[in-house]
A and B are shown apart, each in its own frame.
Chain A
Amino acid sequence: MKVCILALCCAVTASLMASSGRCTSQELSQWIGSSLTHIEKIHVGMTRADVETLFISDGGISTRYRQTYVFRDCPYIKIDVEFAPSEEAGPPAQPSSRDRITVVSRPYLAQPRAD
């Protein structure tokens, strides 16, 4: 299945990785559908920790208030998320796992940032 996921990423992003073509179109479609179902569960009011179960930070600069994430299973799938800081003690600019989502974009495809 892992191979299939990698293949999907390559297919979607027209990557040149050699694993392209190991899954059928139906399998790729099923994977996309399954991934979107998970991704679309991220919604306003959830925490940063919730986001980071499915996503990791994209390359480049981010702040506590605004962050671009790439999907853990495929770095070409991204979302932009804005947070409201939690009120717990600590450095005010330091991201917290309890920060709440205030805005979340629809998932989109883009090259991961190497930065």
Chain B
Amino acid sequence: MLALAYPDPALRLPADTVLVPEVFLFNATQRPIAATVLVDWHSASSWGRAPALSLTLAPGETHVLKLDEAAAQKLGIPKSTTWASVELSYSTGGGDDVVAMAASRSLDRKHLIQTPFTDGLSYLWKGSEWMADADHNALITAGNAGTMPAKLDFKLWYDGGAGVYELPLRTLQTGEAITVDVGRIITTQQPDRNGKTIPPSVTSGTYEFTDVSNIGGGRLYEGKQQVDKTYGHATYGCALCCYMDDAWITDFSGKVGNSGPLVAFGSVNCQGNYSYPDITSQVTNWASGNPSVATVTPAWVNAVGAGQTYSSGRVSKPSYFSWRQCPVAYFYPQGGISVSCAKPTNFRQTAGYDAGSGRLHFEYAWDSSSGHLSDLTGSGCTVNENVSYPGGNPFYWPSPPWASGASSPNPTILPVPPVPGADGALQDNHSSAAFRTPYQAASVTATQYYEYSCTCDHSSNVHLMGPISITRTVSQNPDSTWKYTIVKSGVSANINPLP
């Protein structure tokens, strides 16, 4: 809070007092520093922002920026304006590079009003004691140093916290500030947004204000002048900002092909009271620790391969590095990502019967290890059969009784392409190669496995069921005719007699 040339009556200075506001800038480093100064002025009815200075401070140089009546007029600040906030910006080399102080002395050098600079910005400030009676008054400034409008919720507490006075909710544009004259609110019995007033007997209390439009991310600054007419003091008060001491992203656990939201939270400490606001929308630089496991886009994760990795991002917040001032600092929240493969499981026979004409029909079904068959698509899982025959490749069926040259690939791996894992079921029909006469006795036993393969973990031909014997027999009946029989899993079919 910088008192301008014509002081706020609330300061209770002599009526003809004129102040000379000055800003002192000292370069405490051994290097030149480029700095700019903005003056955010406000009165009860208007406000504005004026670029006041742009300079390079030489090593060890002290520069004094005078903001007296003439200078204020040049900047377009109305004469009736009593308060301003000064915003100093420079490229930091690690903090404490430029020492700044603002003070307003009276022309007769009898009065001095001084407030410190702060680099504290927060969405929530909790102030120390204010006093307002015949000899005291408190002037409290709340300003928006962010780049987005802030919705200010300003409260005065009294009666040991039993009473609360809530100013009307107000939007503060970038650079805008208000100054609350506590004594005036009480003496004029100004009603709050609920129609409530502070009883005239109340002489002290505390305060807090919040950017309710950006919980966890607001950029409000605070200033207070506590006026004590008893000894002629106008001293600044001490508010405590709320700072973030930790930030994290929720863990994600899923199967290949899954996707889902990522939510970021911060741990905000307000004088020992913790809250955990959702800060997802304020996180930038979203990234994955291993894009072959999961890709990360803002607030979203896509699982692409089995493994472990993490999500990460960046967010700037009032920090604990200087707990009274809460300078904005970067936090780098992270969250664990665990991606596994869904696999076919619980492979089972659901039907098996004689389909007629010497054919067997079987049906099988399976589940996904994730509980969702659709996850098998993301994991690249397929199912097939693998049937091997005794002998070489190809396997030639004994002839007769089977047709000359009738053969089967050995092993026979079907179907091509394999069954998508997400289908969850298949049918398997077993018939015979063609026959030829003159028949003669023969028997062939094939060995069958059902298998899966999943691209997500490069698994290949993993047995789901088997070995299963499939036995085909041609034998002679007592009446000299011939019959064909096929048996699998206790189910049989036949052609009797063979034509």
User: Hey, which bits of chain A sit against chain B, CB under 8 A?
Assistant: 15-18, 56-66, 75, 91-95, 111-115
Contact = CB atoms under 8 A, between A and B. Distances in A.
A114 B484 CA distance: 13
Instruction: Specify which of B387, B403, B427, B428 lies most central, judged by the most chain A CB atoms within 10 Å of its CB.
Output: B427
15 contacts: A17-B434, A57-B361, A58-B429, A61-B428, A62-B426, A63-B419, A64-B425, A112-B433, A113-B408, A113-B414, A114-B397, A114-B406, A114-B472, A115-B385, A115-B470
B431 interface: yes
A59 B437 contact: no
A48 to B, nearest CB: 12
Interface string B348-363: 0000000101010101
B374 to A, nearest CB: 11
Interface in B278-330: none
B403 A91 contact: no
A62 B423 contact: no
Contacts, number: 92
B229 interface: no
B426 A16 contact: no
Contacts of B405: 16
Contact of A65 (B387, B423, B431): B423
Given A60-B414, A63-B419, A115 B387 contact: yes
Contact of A95 (B427, B432, B437): B427
Nearest to A60: B414
Interface string B412-432: 101100010001111111111
Instruction: Specify which of A57, A61, A66, A114 lies most central, judged by the most chain B CB atoms within 10 Å of its CB.
Output: A114
Contacts of A62: 415, 426-429
Contact of A59 (B384, B424, B429): B429
B365 interface: yes
Given A61-B385, A93-B426, 18 more contacts: A15-B403, A16-B436, A59-B429, A60-B412, A60-B414, A62-B426, A62-B429, A63-B426, A66-B415, A75-B431, A75-B434, A92-B424, A111-B406, A111-B433, A112-B431, A113-B431, A114-B397, A114-B406
B385 to A, nearest CB: 5
A114 B408 contact: yes
B91 interface: no
B386 to A, nearest CB: 11
B414 A18 contact: no
Contacts of B426: 61-63, 93
Q: 5 tightest A-B contacts by CB?
A: A93-B425, A59-B431, A114-B433, A57-B429, A60-B414
Given A93-B365, A114-B397, A17 B425 contact: no
Interface string B395-417: 00100000111101000101100
Given A92-B424, A95-B427, A114-B397, A61 B414 contact: yes
A92 to B, nearest CB: 7
A18 B414 CA distance: 31
A75 B403 CA distance: 14
B384 A61 contact: yes
A102 to B, nearest CB: 15
A15 B434 contact: yes
A92 B361 CA distance: 19
Contacts of A111: 406, 433
Contacts of A95: 427
Contact of A115 (B403, B424, B428, B436): B428
Contacts of B429: 57-60, 62, 115
Contacts of B431: 58-59, 75, 112-115
A62 B415 CA distance: 7
B420 to A, nearest CB: 8
Contact of A60 (B355, B357, B415, B433): B415
A89 B102 CA distance: 79
Contact of B427 (A15, A63, A75): A63
A94 B415 contact: no
Contacts of A94: 363, 425
A115 B427 contact: no
Given A59-B430, A113-B431, A18 B436 contact: yes
Contacts of B436: 16-18
Contacts of B432: 114
A87 B172 CA distance: 58
